[in-house]
Amino acid sequence: MHPAGRGALYSSGMGDVIVVGGGPAGLAAAIAAAGRGTRVVVCERLPKPGRKLLASGGGRCNLTNTLAPDAFVARLGRHGRFALPALESFGAKRLRAFLLERGVRTESRDGLRVYPSSDRSADVLAALLRECAKRGVAVQTGTAVAGLELEGGRVTGVVTTSGPLAASSVIVAAGGPGYPDLGGTGDGHTLARAAGHAVRTPVPALVGITTRETWLRECAGVSVDGARVTAGVPRKRTSAEGEFLVTHAGVSGQAALDVSGGVSELLEERSDVPLLVSLVASVGRADWGHELDRWRAEHGRRSIAALLSERLPRSLARAVCSRAGAGDARAGHLSRSAGERLAELLTALPLTAVGTAGFARAMVTRGGVELAGVDPRTLASRITAGLFFAGEVLDIDGPSGGFNLQWAFSSGWLAGESVPPAQSREPGGTATAQNGGRA
């Protein structure tokens, strides 16, 4: 078994694979590559691997979901089809089977999101590290990769803070610049550029949105389920449904987080981005009109705000009524114009995004290594021989709900399986590839 942890750097040879990054993509890549008979070194800059994995899902680790591959890639947006070979190679069923065989049961309580049954991300990380140890992977922590060794159009190793490492293949799985406290630096993008790859400017995604409207902050801390947030301008709009959370700075919750990447992109071009919030996505404007008519007829003596508080948190209901000009109006005295304005606000509450919480709180990165320079069938560089990419470092991201972690596992596994297998010499000097690589 190769050494792991801090200390003397494992001295690799030209038949080895170096994985840059000890997150889910990097560990999956290392396990798959080691299964091909290669010696593998994982270089992780933090004192311990998997810090971001441990924090995922609030420590519960929403590691995948139950969608079929085609439906899964559709949720990845403009670059989704690129991910299909990786998902077909190591998708949700294979990931769950892999974990189950290593003592980690998983389940989906809502029929979509999949978590470890223990609700402990630490169990997932422990299983990955046990498998690394079993397959002889050297996990070298406290070791940042500062550069690639390149010669004749191919990668021959890396330069690390602990010294140089030679290798025949390098898998860059260093993530993006999101959540620097958990290891995000953007170093992988620097390595990619040095190898001749174009990098699409990264922006924060799955991050809270800062809004201009100050009145909304009176409702900070309240949330509603089943809302819809639409962000953007014509031809650049994105929409998502789920929880809508009001914060002291603006909005968050699944619906806002899932459109935040698009908001971040537009904020690179303009000073603000329009948002429209349907507070109950399943209820349209005409439906609210009918509901208001019913309240007028059946609950004329009650205030509109009190009636609306049965559908929404009280502070939010009062704030929306005030914005509509309904104030403390009783249902029986609600004017037609105020009712129309209230129905409009409930289905298309206008807000203005002026920023985000930034990379410091971004769960993922939008942008990264441009996909045109990477072969989706192997995740090998089309520019530099022996170089592979996996995970968030690539220009592909998804919404909340297990999409990004599954992509990390799938892409890491495909990259690891795609490195050339170790060569052994039979009597007479014939080189033969060693078998392996399947979970």
pLDDT at position 436 over 50: no
In whole angstroms, give the CA distance from residue 83 to residue 351.
34
Instruction: Note whether 247 and 208 are within 8 A (CB).
Output: yes
Please identify which residue in the block is written with the tokens 């560089």: 381
For 296, half-sphere exposure in the C-beta direction (CA atoms, 13 angstrom radius) is 13
State the amino acid at position 371 in one-letter form.
L
Q: What is the pLDDT of residues 57-101, one digit of tens each?
A: 889 999 999 999 889 999 998 889 999 999 999 999 999 999 999
In whole angstroms, give the CA distance from residue 123 to residue 310.
41
Q: What is the pLDDT of residues 280-325, one digit of tens each?
A: 999 999 999 999 999 999 999 999 999 999 999 999 999 999 999 9
Q: What is the pTM of this model?
A: 0.90
Tokens of 283: 């209820």
pLDDT at position 11 over 70: no
pLDDT for 227 equals 98
pLDDT at position 14 over 60: no
* Mean of the per-residue pLDDT values of the chain: 92
Positive or negative, the CA dihedral 315, 321, 323, 327 is negative
β-pair partners for 352: 274
Q: What is the mean pLDDT of residues 397-411?
A: 97
* Alpha helices, DSSP H, located in 147-303: 187-194, 253-267, 285-298
Q: Please state whether 156 falls in left (phi above 0), alpha (psi between -120 and 50) or beta.
A: alpha
Tokens of 334: 């609600």
